[in-house]
Structure 1
Amino acid sequence: MNVFIIGLLFLLVIPEVSPQKYAYVSVLSSNDFLVPAKTLAYRLKKLNASIPYIIIVTQDITQNSIEQLKEQGVIVHNDTKIDTPYIATHKARKYQYTKIRLWAMTEFDVIVHLDLDVLPTRDISTLFKCGSFCAVFRHSDMFNSGVFVLKTNETVFHDMVEHVQTAESYDGGDQGFLNTYFKDLKFAPMYDPTGKQPICENFTMRTLSATFNYDIGMYYLNNGRLLVDPDIIHYTMGPTKPWLWWTYPLFDLNWMWLDARQEMEQGSNAELDTSIALAATNCLLILFLIILKLILEHFVVNMTTDTVSNVETHVVSQAIYLFSVWFSLKLAHQSAQPVAAWVFFASNTAWTATILTSIYTKLRSGVDVKVKSVLSCVTFTMLTYALSWLILVQISHFNTRVLFAILSILAQQFVVVTYIRYALIVRPCRQQIHKYQILPNNHHVA
């Protein structure tokens, strides 16, 4: 009985220790990053559903985007963007200081910040125990702000706000500012998630291993070889982001991100809706080109000539093809599913180049191009794209893949343009000449 009473008194006297509150937090300031935000939300929930994921959305984000985030279980915090003091020379949306708002989120004890272009490969909740501020040094004595850990503190937040206008930023954005503010992090010991290494009491900050922020640039510089087994992959290379359809199949690490996206969209009609929208757009484009052909051939009649130089036909054919490629790239939504987008792009390029070339032939030579010739050019162009894509996806070494991609683009430019020029300009004009040569001595017949 005495033991029970002593134990009860002990529980009453010792204060209850509440568990720490953790959260993953990102910042969204452009609707272009909606798909990666939803994909990251899905992956975090799949790896550890007990930790909330919060996205700070700025005034640039539409209500529709916010609703889509909430459907993925994201907790949305609306806030205003903190512009960089270097905004006069750094106008891009990525140049901002909004990330410092994380220190003011004192409803949580520890926050792991994640840029929207990262992909966790396993549960990363061990990061919450690393220290007061933790980040990864990669290429120099500057750390990357794509992934970092912090303990919230309003005093630190207000101090940061006071230093925004005066502290240097080597890149004009939050990464440069944070490197200035936490300049002593480079001297801190590395965090050991296993807990086997002794803890250094002189530092509350810790550096993180590259496994927690693996730069894909290192992968490609090493001919497609992983130097570590990454916990977090960071897709740092701007033009090669994994939600951009044209990066497939050249950048093979993007397939890992695409798997996560397809898991996220499984059971929804997102992929089907996108494919239908692309097909409808393609049909509308073909219809528009046909109508344009009929209008131009009917109203423009003063360009016809008896002799068209080879130089002119070569230049015009190249120009039409390059325009068709550029136009088709602009027409395809950048975050469409890669296979559907590539089919859409190839089809648009083929139809645009073919119909515009047939218009040129009619206006300059007065020759009608047969539908059969148009269809053969469309088919040939699409088959060359399909063949290049299928070969590229089978090449395992990155350097070899890049070399083949470059040669393929050059060869495609030559082969496709040559075929279209012959099928739609040279051969129809020759057939027209031969048609009139059957008249004896080219004499005028009344």
Structure 2
Amino acid sequence: VTDQAFVTLATSDVYGLGALVLGHSLRHHRTSRQLVILITPQVSSSIRTVLDNVFDEVIEVNGLDSGDTAHLALMKRPDLGITFTKLQCWTLIQYSKCVFLDADTLVLCNVDELFDREEFSAAPDPGWPDCFNTGVFVFRPSLQTYGRLLQFAGVHGSFDGGDQGLLNSFFHNWAVKDIDKHLPFLYNLNTSSTYTYLPAFRQFGHEAKIVHFLGAVKPWSYKYNPQSRNAYQELDSPTGHHDPQFVNLWWKVYSSCVVQNHICSDSLNLVNSVSQLSIEIKTELSDPEDRKRWEEGRMDYMGRDSFENIKKKLDRFLEQ
């Protein structure tokens, strides 16, 4: 099916790695739809080359920022402002229908049946179920809708400073109008929800179709032991209550698909550099603010976290 697509977004190299894992999970489960990724100029050319091998279309877009620092501060997530860039998925008018997936999601089975749904279909957010979570949603690209979204954003802003607050206000009747547009939670399972409703996870968790690593701590924030095939967190790391089986699965896809499939690519130098820095050299970040920026995917690519500096650190690490 060439006129329908799964769409994701990467605004940094680290989220590019997440998108690669997502793309491979969709390929592994034999989706019949196109794979499209929107990237901002912050994504390096090396990562783009690897993305070209996995996605049917890699489209560069300009970053959009809500500028709503007050509401973002309430959520303690200043990194979410850039998620307004997600709105540009409505400009993909070469497709009749799309399913958006955040780059921190992982597909566990074939989910092509999502294309049977209509705009705007989404799953409830675990924090406020009368709101939908924008990590997974079905939409129809339209320049008219895109224009209306930008106009709405200019007038009303976003109640959380990110795309989720804006889209929930724009599609304000989602909670009450049409139950067919409510995706089951299994299509956007928060990997930490097991801690809030463990009995439900034990009953239904094995039926999960898409998992979503919500929060500031992502799978790539963990360290990984390739011998034991287990991911773990350092004692001084921010606690991320993600279910271990899903984090380990993410790393399994990363190590077996991303690394092995692109082992001959020059681009792997940067892929491995970003990953190794995330799981090994992060201990060098003594400044809590530096560590926080790294874990949120907001590295200084033009300065200390540039490719050349990363490569030098890895060379020293390998020499030892």
Same fold (TM over 0.5): yes
Contact 1:216 1:237 in 2 (8 A): no
Opposite residue 37 of structure 1, the aligned amino acid is A
| 1:208, distance to aligned residue in structure 2 (A) | 0.8
Deviates more, 1:144-153 or 1:245-254: 245-254
Aligned with residue 62 of structure 1, among 33, 36, 44: 44
Where does residue 35 of structure 2 map in the other structure? 53
Where does residue 219 of structure 1 map in the other structure? 194
| 1:262, distance to aligned residue in structure 2 (A) | 2.2
Mapping 1:32-431, distance limit 5 Å: 32-87=14-69, 90=72, 92-96=78-82, 97-139=84-126, 140=128, 141-191=130-180, 206-222=181-197, 225-228=201-204, 229-239=207-217, 241-246=218-223, 248-249=231-232, 251-252=243-244, 253-264=246-257, 265-269=259-263, 326=286
Closer, same or farther: CA 38–59 of 1 in aligned 2, 3 Å: same
**Cα distance in 1 between the residues matched to 2:168 and 2:254:** 32
Closer, same or farther: CA 104–324 of 1 in aligned 2, 3 Å: closer
Closer, same or farther: CA 25–324 of 1 in aligned 2, 3 Å: closer
CA distances 1:32-81 after superposition (whole Å, capped 9, x unpaired): 21221111111111222431111111122121121121122341101101
Opposite residue 207 of structure 1, the aligned amino acid is H
Percent identity (aligned)? 21
Opposite residue 254 of structure 1, the aligned amino acid is V
Opposite residue 179 of structure 1, the aligned amino acid is N
CA distances 1:366-424 after superposition (whole Å, capped 9, x unpaired): xxxxxxxxxxxxxxxxxxxxxxxxxxxxxxxxxxxxxxxxxxxxxxxxxxxxxxxxxxx
Closer, same or farther: CA 92–63 of 1 in aligned 2, 3 Å: farther
Contact 2:8 2:38 in 1 (8 A): yes
Contact 1:111 1:152 in 2 (8 A): yes
CA distances 1:152-198 after superposition (whole Å, capped 9, x unpaired): 2221111112111112412101110000000001113333xxxxxxx
**Cα distance in 2 between the residues matched to 1:179 and 1:135:** 10
Q: Which secondary structure does the structure 2 equivalent of 1:37 belong to?
A: helix
Q: Which secondary structure does the structure 1 equivalent of 2:194 belong to?
A: helix
**Cα distance in 1 between the residues matched to 2:59 and 2:26:** 18
Length, aligned pairs only:
258
Contact 2:31 2:111 in 1 (8 A): no
Q: Which secondary structure does the structure 2 equivalent of 1:148 belong to?
A: strand
Contact 2:123 2:182 in 1 (8 A): yes
Contact 2:6 2:35 in 1 (8 A): yes
CA distances 1:196-247 after superposition (whole Å, capped 9, x unpaired): xxxxxxxxxx1111011001121133459445221100111322x1122348
Closer, same or farther: CA 261–165 of 1 in aligned 2, 3 Å: same
Where does residue 399 of structure 1 map in the other structure? none
Structure 1 residues without counterparts, runs of 5 or longer: 1-18, 192-205, 286-322, 336-347, 352-446
Closer, same or farther: CA 223–268 of 1 in aligned 2, 3 Å: same
| 1:325, distance to aligned residue in structure 2 (A) | 9.7
Contact 1:212 1:232 in 2 (8 A): yes
**Cα distance in 1 between the residues matched to 2:23 and 2:147:** 29
| 1:28, distance to aligned residue in structure 2 (A) | 1.0
| 1:118, distance to aligned residue in structure 2 (A) | 0.5
Opposite residue 168 of structure 2, the aligned amino acid is N
Question: TM-score, normalised to structure 2's length?
Answer: 0.70
Q: Which secondary structure does the structure 2 equivalent of 1:149 belong to?
A: strand
Structure 2 residues without counterparts, runs of 5 or longer: 225-230, 234-242, 298-316
Q: Which secondary structure does the structure 2 equivalent of 1:113 belong to?
A: strand
Contact 1:168 1:180 in 2 (8 A): no
Closer, same or farther: CA 209–165 of 1 in aligned 2, 3 Å: same
Closer, same or farther: CA 20–129 of 1 in aligned 2, 3 Å: farther
**Cα distance in 2 between the residues matched to 1:152 and 1:325:** 42
Q: Which secondary structure does the structure 1 equivalent of 2:99 belong to?
A: strand
Question: TM-score, normalised to structure 1's length?
Answer: 0.52
Q: Which has the higher helix share?
A: 1
Contact 1:167 1:181 in 2 (8 A): no
> What RMSD over aligned residues (CA atoms) do the two structures have, in Å?
3.4
Higher relative contact order (CA 8 A, sep 6+): 2
Closer, same or farther: CA 142–267 of 1 in aligned 2, 3 Å: closer
Q: Which secondary structure does the structure 1 equivalent of 2:179 belong to?
A: coil
Contact 1:26 1:116 in 2 (8 A): yes
| 1:274, distance to aligned residue in structure 2 (A) | 5.2
Contact 2:21 2:253 in 1 (8 A): yes
